[in-house]
Amino acid sequence: MNREHDREIVRYRAPTRINHWIVAISFVLAALSGLALFHPALFPLASLFGGGPWTRILHPFIGVVMVVAFVLLAARMWRDNRIDARDRAWLRNVGDVIHNREENLPEVGRFNGGQKLLFWVLVTCVLVLLLSGLVIWRAYFSQWFPIGAIRLSAVAHALFGLILVCSIIVHIYAAIWVKGSLRAMTEGKVSYGWAWRHHRAWFREVVSARRRAD
Amino acid sequence: MALQSLDIVRRSATTTPAPQARGAHSGQVAKLIDVTKCIGCKACQVACMEWNDLRDEVGHCSGHFDNPPDLGGQSWTIMKFAEHEHADGSLEWLIRKDGCMHCADPGCLKACPSPGAIVQYANGIVDFHEENCIGCGYCVTGCPFDVPRISKHDRKAYKCTLCSDRVAVGQEPACVKTCPTGAIVFGSKEDMHEHAAERIEDLKSRGYANAGLYDPAGVGGTHVMYVLHHADQPELYSGLPKNPVISPFVSLWKGAAKPLGLLAIAATAFAGFLHYIGIGPNRTDEHDEREAEREAQRLRAEEHP
Ligand code: HEM
Ligand code: SF4
């Protein structure tokens, strides 16, 4: 490895990474236990949690852990996810994104238009899942709500859970697709070249010490 | 259920046929509750407690005769007393025995996520198999009649079984056996229709022009039916719904959403896979690293000239 390649940028500091993986692990557990109750074909997933009743007991608590951890993570990333004109242009050229032709795209800051869009989809999903989840949480909360609200919440919970699962599949795939990203969330660092290629505006800010890593 | 049933026509959260070699060849069953003959003595409530070995907690008087005030894990049927004042100022006591209606199209079964926790027998009875119940309460969400209750003690869902255990061995339900006025009768659904028709005719001749049978079509008909003096206004009987149907929210949630949801998840994952083998990963190369280094040097030179 030559000298240039040793140059690295901190993209996520340890607290952010730990926070992210708490969200990720609780998401996977919440998704598996939720899907077990969603479709009979997936009911066998309930055995991962100790059977049907345990799945029913655990799912909402896991969900609450995920929501709390997500809120903390989202708060750290909120200001970097405002969608501006550049992001809209980026999103319009999604064909170039898919074909790895980043040279045709507008310069990207800390997050690109796709990541920002995902961020707001996740915020919406988590919010709806939390509210609808409380309404259908039979053991503690359902008695406070009219039956119509419970029925609406049941559909909303399933629907937004599905949107979240699909969005996270896209998110995980993005980490497999864009090489070097996964290391950002595990070891915290990216190479100069990675930052220059994918997040050039952010790269400039960091290198000229106008901002520090979060 | 200790005995194996071979007459299960529907089983919750199950996509293949349940064992159903035995059919209801002598006709489906029905319980007919003639509200106009009921005197509100609650003998049926007691019979239900006795046969099923249920003892609810002794509660408080809530100002009317309903006791206990609501269905529960230990109260699978209760009498609901409505004092109805007519336009002419006369008072009528409308007493309805509340409990599971044993719908032909049961919302509880449709909503239940646990395989085999709710079954429907060929004879029409909808039964909960509590050993498979996970306590989620989706049956409560699905039921158009607000019948099932999750017990606070064991977190299982309970409701009237239509004495499926008695009926299986050729006996009538306990409440039917005990009713002193003959307001509750039991037999084949066909016979109950005939019996109801006679009763309605009699009621009409006595001035109840709107007397009629409650066997709501919205849930495919029910295996517990009522003879009502005011069949045009079932709501008078402590909120018996006029046109009960499985809520469209429940139908969407338990209908189209399930296969489409799984398809969406599979399609998203497959699209990612296709992208990877079709277009491939996005790698940072030597060129990027060199350009980045050049840019970094330029920026630093600007910062510290
Ligand atoms: C096992 C599942 C997951 C994996 C493998 C994963 C992987 C990653 C990776 C590699 C990054 C860094 C991307 C970059 O630096 O540009 C990242 C960032 C992030 N992750 Fe995850 N993640 C997972 C689950 C989740 C879940 C469940 C959520 C929220 C519900 C989430 C929310 C985020 C957010 C908001 C970011 C920053 C913005 C972004 O890069 O899109 N992640 N994740
Ligand atoms: S009345 Fe409710 S609990 Fe009874 S069969 Fe119909 S949906 Fe199920």
Q: Across-strand partners of B120?
A: B10, B126
| Contact status, residue A129 vs residue A164, Cβ threshold 8 Å | yes
The rounded distance, in Å, linking the Cα atoms of A115 and A171 is: 8
Q: Is the CB of A135 under 6 A from ligand 1?
A: no
Q: How far is the CA of A172 from the centre of ligand 1 (A)?
A: 7
Backbone angles phi, psi at B120, to 5 degrees: -125, 125
Averaged pLDDT score across all residues of chain B? 95
ipTM > 0.90, yes or no: yes
The rounded distance, in Å, linking the Cα atoms of A161 and A168 is: 10
The pLDDT value given to residue A49 = 98
* Burial B15-41, CB ≥16 within 10 A → b, else e: eeebeeeeebeeebbbbbbbbbebeee
Structural domain count of chain A: 1
Which residue of A7, A166, A176 is in closest CB contact with B268? A166
Q: Can you give the pLDDT of all 305 residues of chain B as single tens digits? A: 446 688 999 999 999 999 899 999 989 999 999 999 999 999 999 999 999 999 999 988 888 899 999 999 999 999 999 999 989 999 999 999 999 999 999 999 999 999 999 999 999 999 999 999 999 999 999 999 999 999 999 999 999 999 999 999 999 999 999 999 999 999 999 999 999 999 999 999 999 999 999 999 999 999 999 999 999 999 999 999 999 999 999 999 999 999 999 999 999 999 999 999 999 999 999 999 999 999 999 998 887 76
Q: What is the 3-state secondary structure (H, E, C) of B72-95?
A: ECCECCEEEEEEEECCCCCEEEEE
**A131 lies in some domain:** yes
The pLDDT value given to residue B1 = 42
pTM of the model: 0.90
**A172 lies in some domain:** yes
| Contact status, residue B284 vs residue A197, Cβ threshold 8 Å | yes
Please write the tens of the pLDDT for every residue from B116-149: 999 999 999 999 999 999 999 999 999 999 999 9
The pLDDT value given to residue A7 = 85
By residue range, what is the domain housing residue A23?
14-78+86-178
**A203 lies in some domain:** no
Please give the share of chain A, as a percent, with pLDDT higher than 70.
95
Sheet holding B224-228, edge to edge: B184-188, B29-34, B224-228, B212-214
The CATH number for A56's domain is 1.20.950.20
The full set of domain ranges for chain B reads 8-254, 257-303
The pLDDT value given to residue A144 = 97
Does B262 lie at the interface with A, CB-CB under 8 angstroms? yes
**Which chain A residues contact residue B149 at CB under 8 A?**
none
Averaged pLDDT score across all residues of chain A? 94
pLDDT for residue A40 is more than 80: yes
The Cβ of residue A107 has, within 10 Å, a number of other Cβ atoms equal to 14
- A5 confidence band (pLDDT: 50, 70, 90): very low
**A169 lies in some domain:** yes
Please write the tens of the pLDDT for every residue from A80-111: 999 999 999 999 999 999 999 999 999 999 99
Atom 41 of ligand 1, residue of closest alpha carbon = A115
Q: Which of B10, B76, B77, B143 to mutate to test the pocket of ligand 2 (most atoms within 8 A of CB)?
A: B143
The pLDDT value given to residue A6 = 61
Q: How far is the CA of A198 from the centre of ligand 1 (A)?
A: 16
Residue of A99, A136, A142, A155 to mutate, interface with B, max B Cβ within 10 Å: A155
**A185 lies in some domain:** no
From the list A20, A59, A157, A171, the catalytic residue is A171
Class of domain B8-254: alpha beta
| Contact status, residue B236 vs residue B96, Cβ threshold 8 Å | no
Minimum CA–CA partner of B291 in chain A: A193
Please write the tens of the pLDDT for every residue from B202-231: 999 999 999 999 999 999 999 999 999 999
Q: Is the CB of B101 under 6 A from ligand 2?
A: yes
| Residue B45 Cα to chain centre, angstroms | 20
Distance from the Cα of A197 to chain B's closest Cα (Å) equals 6
The rounded distance, in Å, linking the Cα atoms of B302 and A60 is: 54
Cβ contact (<8 Å) for A191 and B137? no
**Which chain A residues contact residue B299 at CB under 8 A?**
204, 207-208
**pLDDT higher at B6 or A119:** A119
The pLDDT value given to residue A3 = 44
**A212 lies in some domain:** no
Atom 7 of ligand 2, residue of closest alpha carbon = B143
The pLDDT value given to residue A4 = 43
